[in-house]
Amino acid sequence: MNGQEPARRVPVETALHGLRLDRAVMTLCGLSLRAARRRIEDGGILLDGRPAAAALRLRAGQTLELLPDDHICRGHAGDEAALAVRLLGRQGDYAAFVKPAGLHSSPLAGRCAPNLEDAARTLWGDEARPLHFLQRLDQATSGIVCAALSPDAAQRFRTDEGCGRYAKAYLALLHGELSAPVTADRALDVDSRSVSRVLDKAAPLLRHTLFFPLQVLRGGEAEEVLAANGLPAVPAATITLAACLIRCGARHQIRAHAASLGLPLCGDGRYAPSGGTPAAGGPERFLLHHARLSGPCGQWLCLPDWNGLPFLENHFRKWLESLSRYDSIFLTEKAAAARAPARERG
């Protein structure tokens, strides 16, 4: 809906009687069902002057009120995060931006919410060289998002990425102890929008995830870090700060592979329900940060803004730079066999 328009009032008549609210909004606003539900959750739809549940059945005589975007955009929870977006730098035909945790990467259909792409375009301000974004991070994930400055540059990135010429290093806080490097090599079923399922078959080499332990924290030290970052408390916890290296990522690849190793991200209730879930209706909260991107476009390095970790900035930097030895490895079957990666734990 155009933010300049007044609220639209729709009487519930015979054609809408008995429909679920989300289905009615989908029809009236020309949205997908998912987008209609987002609109309802954001308070953009009122029934008889009040918010209502998406599953509520409409009755003849009621009145729907469809609010304009400028009403439901005010005071959105992501506003502060959008202000924290910054330009990391430009190298040739590419620019990199830093996405804070808590901000969506892209605009969501049916939802007027702050997002990285809109904020980055405002920062960029060069209409002659529009941004073509090459990555999306989960809302709770922070770090580097790269954009091409032309369609040709975007295509070159995709081609190089598909050949394994880009290495993407993430930092993650895992629940449990990772004592040695390990490779998760199982394929993922990403057909579901909400959860990626780990399959009992090998993934293509470019879809593997390499995990490297950086530091293990136990007991009170671990509890302090969890509390400092708003993560669920786990008594007598052992947690691992790990580096995670991928080439071509699939939806939730690191999260799903980590959980398959018995080392889910701390607080990631979607893949480890026993590890704590966000408050009802609240956003997900875990520590996963895209810290290094290296390939033909150059190298980008971005350290996380995490609380309570007993490490100096140069430690993070050295750990990330130490992964550069993997950048030039051409991922063939022969090279993979020579590396003899460990199989994931049961």
**Weakest-pLDDT range from 17-21, 111-115, 269-273:** 111-115
Q: Would you say residue 104 lies in a domain?
A: yes
39-66 pLDDT tens trace = 887 778 888 888 888 888 898 889 998 8
What pLDDT does 110 receive? 59
Q: At which residue do the structure tokens 């990631």 appear? A: 268
Q: Are 248 and 174 in contact (CB under 8 A)?
A: no
Residues 254, 137: Cα–Cα separation, whole Å: 11
Residues 177 and 321 occupy one common structural domain: yes
62 and 89 assigned to the same domain: no
Q: Is residue 43 part of a domain?
A: yes
**pLDDT, tens only, 156-178:** 999 999 998 999 999 999 999 99
Query: What CATH number does the domain containing 23 carry?
Result: 3.10.290.10
pLDDT band at residue 294 using 50, 70 and 90 as cut-offs: very high
- Mark whether 129 and 233 lie in a shared domain: no
Residue 246 in domain: yes
Cα separation, 330 vs 55, in Å, equals: 51
Tally of domains within the chain: 3
205 and 104 in a common domain: no
SS (H, E, C) 35-104: HHHHHHHCCCEEECCECCCCCCECCCCCEEEECCHHHHCCCCCCHHHHHCCEEEEEECCEEEEEECCCCE
Q: Domain check: are 102 and 172 in the same one?
A: no
Kindly state whether residue 2 falls inside one of the protein's structural domains: no
Which CATH number goes with the domain that contains 284? 3.30.2350
Last residue of a domain, one of 105, 132, 162: 162
Same domain, 58 and 182: no
Mean pLDDT for the stretch of residues 224-238: 86
Q: Which domain-ending residue is among 162, 189, 205?
A: 162
Range of the domain at 19: 8-72
Last residue of a domain, one of 142, 162, 182: 162
Residue 98: strand pairing partners = 86, 144
Q: Which residue has the higher pLDDT, 6 or 77?
A: 6
For residue 310, tell me if it sits in a domain.
yes
Is residue 130 located within the same domain as residue 172? no
How is residue 278 annotated by DSSP?
P
Cβ partners under 8 Å of residue 107, min gap 6: 113, 115, 117, 118
Residue 68, C-beta contacts closer than 8 angstroms, at least 6 positions apart: 1, 2, 3, 4, 5, 6, 7
In a domain, 1, yes or no: no
Which residues on adjacent β-strands are paired with residue 288? 172
- The helix (run of H) or strand (run of E) holding residue 251 is none
- For residues 339 and 295, state if they share a domain: yes
Same domain assignment for residues 99 and 237? no
Both 198 and 310 in a single domain?
Answer: yes
Highest mean pLDDT among 57-61, 112-116, 130-134: 130-134
Residue 322 lies in a domain: yes
Pair (303, 262) in one structural domain: yes
The CATH number given to whatever domain includes residue 127 is: 3.30.2350.10
* Domain shared by 88 and 217, yes or no: no
At residue 43, the pLDDT reads 78
> What pLDDT sits at residue 177?
95
pLDDT digits (tens, 9 = 90+) for 316-341: 777 777 767 666 554 444 444 444 44
Q: How many CA atoms lie within 13 A of 32 on its CB side?
A: 7
Say if 245 falls within a structural domain: yes
Q: Count how many residues are written for the chain.
A: 346
